[in-house]
Chains A and B, each alone.
Chain A
Amino acid sequence: MSNQLLYYSPIETAINRIESLLEDPLESKISRRSIALLLLQKDPVLRSQLQEKTYFSEIERIVADTEAYFSESLSSVIAESRHKRAMAIEQDITIQPQQQRAFKNEWLHKLTVHPVTGVPILALVLYYGVYQFVGVFGGGTLVDGIEGFFESHINPFVNTIVAAIFPWQVIQDLFANDYGIITLGIRYAVAIVLPVVATFFLMFSLLEDSGYLPRLSLLIDRFFKTIGLSGRSIIPLILGLGCGTMATLVTRTLESKRERIIATLLLALTIPCSAQLGVILGLLSQEPTALLVWATVMVAIFLGIGFLAGKIVPGNASCFYMEIPPLRLPRPQAILTKTYVRLKWYFGEILPLFIFASILIWAGKLTGLFDVLVRGLEPVMLWLGLPKEAAPTFLYGFFRRDYGAAGMFDLHSSGILAGQQLVVAAVTLTLFIPCVAQLQFMFKERGVKKTIAIAIFVVFFAFSLGYLLNQLLTIMELSF
């Protein structure tokens, strides 16, 4: 074959020797030459596959013999030959400008990654993109509008209709009144979660397609090193602001097991998902001090836990290497499609769950089981300085994070949760156990033992911190 790449002769000899050792016919879909090269590069998967073979020791000897010829590792010698060839081909078939190749918007790239300018840019993105757009506009304006419409028009209407059709209180409660499928389940989904998630996904798609996220990784890498993570892990963590479940799956892109564990823990503990974030921003933005306390506590915990985890979880910090794609002007159509598809999925996912939750609450109330659980949580609420009416919210919160957040919104608008209690509830709910779906993915990705350990830690930590925060705020006499 004319396109065959030839390596240094000791390597070619070794390839030939290994090829002749491999049995006939070959099980693999790839060539013997390729297998020989993989073995020379000490490919772990192939080695473990061939471990049992009688000729494995012979291969080991050939590899060792060949290694003796070079001062560098065989992997780098082989990689170098390929690289040279690849570069030679590129040289031959491309016409390139003589001057330094520079991205057209190099200056913009530099602005986003240089700490002096990058941090203010990040602050701007967070302030306008997340706080103003998702929190104030999505979680405030839109939620208030749709929610108000539900409260003033749809709910009374549904209550009357249902009361007219079903004479029995039990059935009425299933569809309407305080915990009905329509008045609670659908209202939560449409009025509270939908506007928040829609604005978040829109903003997120915009950031994704512009190429800003990898630059954020670069900017934050140094800073993340101290907590045992590489800049690469910013992507799953930011994805976690969209949906913790997805983010847990994306931790796969991290190089070391250690990084994956730390990222999973941080996702489960400190990163609020989009619905939670939006509702919390919407609620707390009326009280800037409250928002500041919440944000400070979350950042402090993120750093503190990250730092401790970085010390405790065994392994070495991996070095950071990532493709930096060019900054691109996002295409509106691509953004809208992406937002629409995500939203459709999200909504399709949560609507049945919210309806199911309403039914569950209804059934729980009917059988008294719900009351038992709520009563069990009530002392915990009082311990946190929260009204006992907050107990159901925590119960929902486990079922779906967004459901719990929506419940908190409800408590606040009915005047039950205010000031200090709101901050404590927001912090505790953010830290509290991830939703069932995220937990399921943690099991899948991290295994049973690690997941249970993380879950127990998270529950314990959330309530303890809530307690401490409540005490601290009382002592400091901060008023909101």
Chain B
Amino acid sequence: MDCHDCHQTCQPKNQKKGWKLFGINSRKSVKNNIDRDSQTNVALVGLPNVGKSLLFNLLTGTYVTVSNYPGTTVEVAKGNRIIAGESVTFFDTPGMYSLIPITEEESVTRDLIMNENVNLVIHIVDAKNLGRMLNLTLQLIEAQLPVLLVVNMIDEAAKLGIWIDENQLAHKLCIPVVTTEATQKVGLKKLIAKVADYVQSTPVLFTY
């Protein structure tokens, strides 16, 4: 595993910008995307239109297009944030329904989490349709990937009269759970704190 020193800046700036538009975020293939310099790589995954891109923007301070329809993101985008003194790389991925991809862009996400060194998979779900979305969580747990569950859009769920017990959910699944309302930045600090746990507990796997 040699370090090819690929910082974000080594991509042609001009070109890169363009693909952020309409949700097209990076032209680089997933294979070369993992940041070897960063100790912690975090992938944001989930069904289409649950708010992955919005959370990504909030977490990394970069902008990728966010829309209220599924399929806005078709390629992986990455951004960094310093958490607990370490640079953490976040990956925004195209939505997927299950580990078995149906369309081309879904396989991009699967490639990322199956073949690359991802230290944490943040599975983002829509609080309004929890049951339908936990399906993928179960598959991620089955794969023994380190999973953190983000239950997003709790505000919309609350409006429908749905209340979620996050502690009990965490207990049932044996994984950390955070509830958020990404449009209002509610729960973001909690989420970052949870990711920080991961940063600290990440064993230094590749010292050179």
- Measuring CB to CB, which residues of chain A are less than 8 angstroms from any residue of chain B? 1-5, 28-31, 33-34, 37-38, 41, 43, 45, 75, 79, 82-83, 85-87, 89-97, 101, 103-104, 208-211, 213-214, 232, 235, 239, 242-243, 246-247, 249-250, 252-255, 322-323, 325-326, 328, 330-331, 334, 337-338, 341-342, 345-346, 348-349
One of B3-11, B83-91, B95-103 at the interface: B95-103
A83 CB to closest chain B CB (Å) equals: 6
B61 within 8 A of A: no
Give Cα A325 to B161, complex, Å: 18
B114 contacts which chain A residues (CB < 8 A)? 28-30
Known: A87-B131, A337-B63, A348-B14. A239 touches B116 (CB 8 A): no
A33 contacts which chain B residues (CB < 8 A)? 142-144
One of B169-177, B185-193, B197-205 at the interface: B169-177
B107 within 8 A of A: yes
Interface of A is mostly: helix
- CB nearest neighbor in A for B111: A45
- CB nearest neighbor in B for A239: B22
By Cβ-Cβ distance, the 8 closest A-B pairs, closest first, are A90-B131, A86-B134, A34-B143, A97-B161, A30-B143, A31-B144, A253-B71, A3-B174
B interface, how many residues as a size bin?
35 or more
Known: A208-B67, A211-B69, A239-B22. A85 touches B138 (CB 8 A): yes
A43 contacts which chain B residues (CB < 8 A)? 99-100
B19 CB to closest chain A CB (Å) equals: 8
- Establish whether residues B69 and A325, one from each chain, have CB atoms under 8 Å apart when the complex forms: yes
Instruction: Pick the contact of A214: B70, B101, B164 (CB < 8 A).
Output: B70
B2 within 8 A of A: no
A327 CB to closest chain B CB (Å) equals: 8
- Establish whether residues A86 and B135, one from each chain, have CB atoms under 8 Å apart when the complex forms: yes
- Establish whether residues B65 and A338, one from each chain, have CB atoms under 8 Å apart when the complex forms: yes
- Establish whether residues B74 and A89, one from each chain, have CB atoms under 8 Å apart when the complex forms: no
- Establish whether residues B99 and A38, one from each chain, have CB atoms under 8 Å apart when the complex forms: yes
A37 contacts which chain B residues (CB < 8 A)? 142
Give Cα A33 to B139, complex, Å: 10
B80 contacts which chain A residues (CB < 8 A)? none
Q: List 14 A-B contacts (CB under 8 A).
A: A30-B145, A31-B143, A79-B135, A86-B131, A89-B173, A90-B134, A104-B159, A208-B67, A213-B69, A235-B69, A249-B22, A250-B22, A331-B183, A348-B17
A326 contacts which chain B residues (CB < 8 A)? 128, 156
B35 CB to closest chain A CB (Å) equals: 16
A209 contacts which chain B residues (CB < 8 A)? 66-68
Give Cα A326 to B116, complex, Å: 34
Known: A213-B67, A253-B94, A326-B156. 5 other contacts (CB 8 A): A3-B174, A29-B116, A93-B169, A95-B165, A247-B22
- Establish whether residues B172 and A92, one from each chain, have CB atoms under 8 Å apart when the complex forms: yes
- Establish whether residues B174 and A1, one from each chain, have CB atoms under 8 Å apart when the complex forms: yes
- Establish whether residues A94 and B66, one from each chain, have CB atoms under 8 Å apart when the complex forms: no
A257 CB to closest chain B CB (Å) equals: 9
- CB nearest neighbor in A for B107: A45
- Establish whether residues B168 and A253, one from each chain, have CB atoms under 8 Å apart when the complex forms: no
B65 contacts which chain A residues (CB < 8 A)? 338, 341-342
- Establish whether residues A94 and B165, one from each chain, have CB atoms under 8 Å apart when the complex forms: yes
B48 CB to closest chain A CB (Å) equals: 5
- Establish whether residues B162 and A29, one from each chain, have CB atoms under 8 Å apart when the complex forms: no
Give Cα A475 to B22, complex, Å: 44
B161 contacts which chain A residues (CB < 8 A)? 95-97
Give Cα A104 to B159, complex, Å: 8
A45 contacts which chain B residues (CB < 8 A)? 101, 107, 110
- Establish whether residues A211 and B141, one from each chain, have CB atoms under 8 Å apart when the complex forms: no
Give Cα A172 to B16, complex, Å: 35
A338 contacts which chain B residues (CB < 8 A)? 65-67
Give Cα A210 to B68, complex, Å: 6
- Establish whether residues A83 and B135, one from each chain, have CB atoms under 8 Å apart when the complex forms: yes
Instruction: Pick the contact of A255: B20, B103, B135, B169 (CB < 8 A).
Output: B103
B148 contacts which chain A residues (CB < 8 A)? none
- CB nearest neighbor in B for A28: B114
Which residues in window 92-141 of B have CB below 8 A to A? 94, 98-105, 107, 110, 113-118, 128, 130-135, 137-139, 141
Known: A86-B138, A348-B17. A96 touches B162 (CB 8 A): yes
B129 CB to closest chain A CB (Å) equals: 9
- Establish whether residues A97 and B17, one from each chain, have CB atoms under 8 Å apart when the complex forms: no
- CB nearest neighbor in B for A236: B71
Known: A89-B173, A94-B165, A323-B47. A328 touches B134 (CB 8 A): no
B54 CB to closest chain A CB (Å) equals: 9
Known: A30-B144, A83-B135, A86-B132. A235 touches B71 (CB 8 A): yes
Give Cα A211 to B142, complex, Å: 34
- Establish whether residues A93 and B168, one from each chain, have CB atoms under 8 Å apart when the complex forms: yes
Instruction: Pick the contact of B145: A5, A29, A247 (CB < 8 A).
Output: A29
Known: A1-B174, A34-B142, A90-B131. A253 touches B17 (CB 8 A): no
Give the residue among A87, A91, A325, A334 with the most B Cβ atoms within 10 A: A325
B145 contacts which chain A residues (CB < 8 A)? 29-30
A246 contacts which chain B residues (CB < 8 A)? 21-22, 24
- CB nearest neighbor in B for A2: B174
Instruction: Pick the contact of B118: A29, A86, A97, A103 (CB < 8 A).
Output: A29
- Establish whether residues A208 and B68, one from each chain, have CB atoms under 8 Å apart when the complex forms: yes
Instruction: Pick the contact of A3: B71, B131, B173 (CB < 8 A).
Output: B173
- Establish whether residues B17 and A345, one from each chain, have CB atoms under 8 Å apart when the complex forms: yes
A449 CB to closest chain B CB (Å) equals: 18
Instruction: Pick the contact of B100: A38, A325, A337 (CB < 8 A).
Output: A38
B5 CB to closest chain A CB (Å) equals: 23
- Establish whether residues B174 and A252, one from each chain, have CB atoms under 8 Å apart when the complex forms: no
